[in-house]
Amino acid sequence: MTLNFELPKLVRELKKRKPKKVLVQLPEGIKQNAAEISGAIEKLGIKVIFSGETAWGGCALALQEAEALKVDLIVHFGHAEFIKTKFPVLYIEVRDELDLKPILEKSLKKIEKFKTLGLSYSIQHRHDVEMIKEFYEKRGKKIILSKKIGFAAYEGHVIGCEYRGLKAIEKDVDAFLIIGNQFHSMGAALAVEKPVVLVDVYNDDVKSMDGLREKILKQRAISIQKLKDAKDVGIIIEIKPGQKFGEPKYLVEKLKEKGKNAIVITMNELTPEKIMNFYHIDAFIELACPRVAVDDFAKYSKPILTFKEALVALGIKSWEEFLEKGIV
């Protein structure tokens, strides 16, 4: 993996914006590169502080830290813009400079029966998208990039909580190809009914996601039933600015109408330890990252659901509508 931190862009933007002090956010995988990034910023006479909090997505802008520390700018690495904010933010997307040709070659066998493919990539591969398209088109495939809808910053861009851009082209493609990792392809497999193939550039593997959708949906149906049976419910909200997936007040009202007790719990980041001591709660609904409920449910001793799943449990949405609109 050769990461390009786009330091020339960083320096150019900092010279233009002239901040005195910046807060830098790095995703977990690149926190180890803090010294290199710090050096490039300090050389310009700018004070730099690194956030030690997690930054799994562009949703996790450290606005509160930035205000508390009185910095002039947040420099957020590794993600594209997710939401608009009044506070100034500089996004450095970070390129992963890999020779993708061998794995694209390897993918041909897995996709041989498909003629038209929907293509999506995680942000680190955006600079390669034209090459990838050309590669497949030269080999007789038709490539359609997923649409830029919702939180997606570009055509073809995929993030873990936004698959409407894939659903928009589903009727026109035979299958989807995801360039990135398991996280994005699993979300895609849950969102669309057409086959999904992952070109896993990090594990040098090409995998079909067949069967995964059914397996996860079965598990989600069990969690939905558990919320139906629950007496005491905890609604978890996070303070990360982009993680507002649902309205807690509305849920409390609806839960109470069903004769349940509901409390709202706030936290910076949901972890199993943080909810452990709410012994009396039978089920949790989390309005933060929907992928926590879907991907990490096994880490939690109590059922944990997304907002959309809660609407199904409460009879506000049907299971069919839930599947139709995409479950994350």
In the range 35-94, which residues lie near ligand SF4 by CB under 6 A? 56-59, 82
308 makes contact with ligand SF4 (CB under 6 A) = no
Q: Give least dist CB 327 to ligand SF4, A.
A: 13
Residue 55 CB, shortest distance to ligand SF4, in Å, is 9
Within 10 A of 259 (CB to CB), how many other CB atoms are there? 7
Q: Does 159 bind ligand SF4 (CB under 6 A)?
A: yes
- Please say whether the beta carbons of 94 and 4 come within 8 A: yes
Binding region for ligand SF4 (CB under 6 A) out of 67-75, 153-161, 248-256, 305-313: 153-161
Closest contact distance (angstroms) between CB of 115 and ligand SF4 is 31
- Provide, rounded to whole angstroms, the least separation between the CB of residue 228 and ligand SF4: 26
C-alpha to C-alpha distance for 178 and 158, rounded to whole angstroms = 8
H/E element holding 229?
A: helix 212-229
Q: Binding of ligand SF4 at residue 243 (CB under 6 A)?
A: yes
Residue 232 phi/psi, 5° resolution? -110, 125
Q: Which stretch binds ligand SF4 (CB under 6 A): 12-20, 43-51, 157-165, 214-222?
A: 157-165
Residue 49 DSSP symbol: E
Nearest residue to ligand SF4, by Cβ distance, number only: 57
Beta bridge partners of 76: 25, 91
Among 19, 118, 156, 160, binds ligand SF4 (CB under 6 A): 160
Asked if residues 110 and 206 have their Cβ atoms less than 8 Å apart, the reply is yes
Structure tokens at 155: 């055509």
180 is a site residue for ligand SF4 (CB under 6 A): no
Q: For residue 260, how many other CB atoms are within 10 A of its CB?
A: 19
CA distances from 28 to 15, 56, 78, 276 (A): 27, 7, 10, 25
| Total site size for ligand SF4, rule CB under 6 A | 12
* Residue 226 burial (CB count, 10 A): 16
Q: Is 289 in the site for ligand SF4 (CB under 6 A)?
A: yes
User: Interface with ligand SF4 includes 300 (CB under 6 A)?
Assistant: no
Q: How far is the CB of 129 from ligand SF4 (least distance, A)?
A: 20
Contacts to ligand SF4 by CB under 6 A: 56-59, 82, 159-161, 242-243, 289, 291
